[in-house]
Amino acid sequence: MKKLLLSTPIGIFAGLMTSCAPSAKQNQPNIIVILADDLGYGDVSAQGATEIQTPNLDRLANGGIRFTNGYATSATSTPSRYALMTGMYPWKNKDAKILPGDAPLIINPGQYTLPKMMQEAGYTTAAIGKWHLGMGAGNVNWNETVRPNANDIGFDYSNLIAATNDRVPTVFVENGNVVGLDPTDPIQVSYESNFEGEPTAITHPERLKMHWAHGHNQSIHNGIPRIGYQKGGKSAMWVDEDMADYFTGLATKFISENKEKPFFMYFGLHQPHVPRTPNARFVGKSGMGPRGDAILEADWCVGELMAHLEKEGLLENTIIIFTSDNGPVLNDGYKDGAAELVGNHKPAGTLRGGKYSLFDAGTRVPFFVYWKGKIKPKVSDALVCQLDIMASVASLVNKPLEGEYDSQDLLPVFMGDSDKGRTELIVEANGKMALRSGDWAFIPPYSGPETNLTGNELGNLVQGGLYNLSTDPGQTGNVMDTFKDQFQKMKSRFLAITKEYYRPNTDEIELK
């Protein structure tokens, strides 16, 4: 952890703003963070995918900085988003784990956050799309304004799905209020038990248009079985196939309404997370089934956003950061043919693992920073993390952070002026942690299954593991016995960083 206080000296900041900031006649640059959901390192054609084409993502990747060592903190959704919003490692917060749809907000409203910082810098802020950081304070009543919500941690406007598109409640929540709710048909949500008389995937399989593979067999909405139970709120329920259009429309509307002043927008894409239900105009276009079609839809969302920025004359004054919350997964609970239809496509590229995994593909993700006319196209091998967006943006808008943060000021790296990124990073998957340092990846000894129900390797190595990613990016050879000194060095460093939080349990083997 690093103490950040006036992290960028005034002279350096002035030099950066001279070289990469808008002219004095313009506002400070707008900043948009686009976070895809379960998009793998190899799911983008700019990163080597040949079976699918993502021209709009390629425009960002090839027109800005494309990081080959860009990381999420975590191999699952909620903790990665927590790190993005707070600049803190999620494993320091025991609640930063995959949340049910009725979980309370895990960011304390008194905590300093990325959107609060942007507000203080004079920005109008918005959160649109997938959230999955909790809402309310527990025992949520969805029929009244849910507090605290995203607005209470720094967003002027929010329109979100509470958790994931496979979890109830299947409604949009705008500024804490369920959109389109009929007060005569109140909504009820439970993750404990079903409501009397309500159909589930088990009791009424004939109502399904998409069938579950594992874990998604409770309440049915829009012909799709979900996790959790929901009753009522029929008028407010979303149509999955229209979700991309809905959120992209909100994002472009926010841009238009705030084009005269600087804005910060978090745009959380729901693709290609399950259930994969792209709009009809994308169905069948990828040749890889719903997952591939959903990636094309996500690419379209990005293209619509960029086209709208151009239309409003804002593209040259807007920084776009695109990344994904964690690595890829094929069978994540529905029988949608993702594994059967993937063909020669490799969602993780040359990397090993994926979502839920301590292997590199769990957290190494697409990571692009684009600023038309300001950032020169470049491929960078610098080690960067979504955790660092907060401190780097703080430096850009001259709002240096005070206090203790894990976020590092990498503004020169994000702008392409330096290749000196992080020296080390702790990544985690479902509470188990590993260390990335330089070219080396260290995984402590963990017991447990090799794979989970999705088929992804988890990185549970009984003796631990050491990999040189510069020569072995696919982590095919564990060299801990060959490089014993390096293994011991990284073990010591890992324990030094995580000593207050590393707690071996029955599923883990203690480091000694």
Supply angle C-alpha 165, 177, 149, rounded to 5.
Answer: 80
Same-domain status, 490 and 409: no
511 located within any domain: no
pLDDT digits (tens, 9 = 90+) for 491-505: 999 999 998 887 665
Q: How many domains does the chain have?
A: 3
Quote the domain boundaries for residue 221: 188-231
143 plus 119 within the same structural domain = yes
**Phi and psi angles of residue 3, each rounded to the nearest 5 degrees, phi first:** -85, 125
**Through-space distance between the first and last CA atoms of the chain, rounded to whole angstroms:** 23
Radius of gyration of the CA atoms of the chain, in A: 22
* Whether residues 454 and 356 fall in one domain: no
Please check whether residues 449 and 437 belong to one and the same domain.
yes
In a domain, 508, yes or no: no
Query: Are both 343 and 470 inside the same structural domain?
Result: no
Write down the pLDDT at residue 400: 84
SS3 track for 271-338: CCCCCCCCCHHHCCCCCCHHHHHHHHHHHHHHHHHHHHHHHCCCHHHEEEEEEECCCCCCCCCECCCH
The last residue of a domain, from among 403, 422, 441: 422
**Residues 286 and 358 reside in one and the same domain:** yes
Q: What is the pLDDT of residues 119-174, one digit of tens each?
A: 999 999 999 999 999 999 999 999 999 999 999 999 999 999 999 999 999 999 99
Q: Is 160 a domain residue? A: yes
- Please indicate, yes or no, if residue 126 is contained in any of the structural domains: yes
Q: Is the residue at 506 inside a domain?
A: no
* List of residues 6+ apart from 380 with CB closer than 8 A: 65, 66, 67, 68, 69, 413, 416, 419, 421
CATH code where residue 442 lies? 3.30.1120.10
Q: Under the phi-then-psi rule, with left for phi > 0, alpha for psi from -120 to 50, and beta for the rest, what region is 139? A: left
- Between residues 342 and 3, the one the model is more confident about: 342
In a domain, 260, yes or no: yes
pTM: 0.94
Q: Clarify whether residues 145 and 293 are in a common domain.
A: yes
* pLDDT higher than threshold 60 for residue 222: yes
Residue 464 falls within a domain, yes or no?
A: yes
> pLDDT band at 510, cuts 50/70/90?
low
Question: What average pLDDT does the chain have?
Answer: 93
Is it the case that residue 449 has pLDDT exceeding 80? yes
289 shares a domain with 435:
no
Residue finishing a domain among 389, 422, 455: 422
Residues 211 and 129 in one domain: no
433 with 408, same domain? no
Residue 256 sits in the same domain as residue 375: yes
One domain, residues 227 and 343:
no
**Tens of pLDDT along 71-125?**
999 999 999 999 999 999 999 999 999 999 999 999 999 999 999 999 999 999 9
Q: Is residue 504 part of a domain?
A: no
Domain boundary among 387, 422, 457: 422
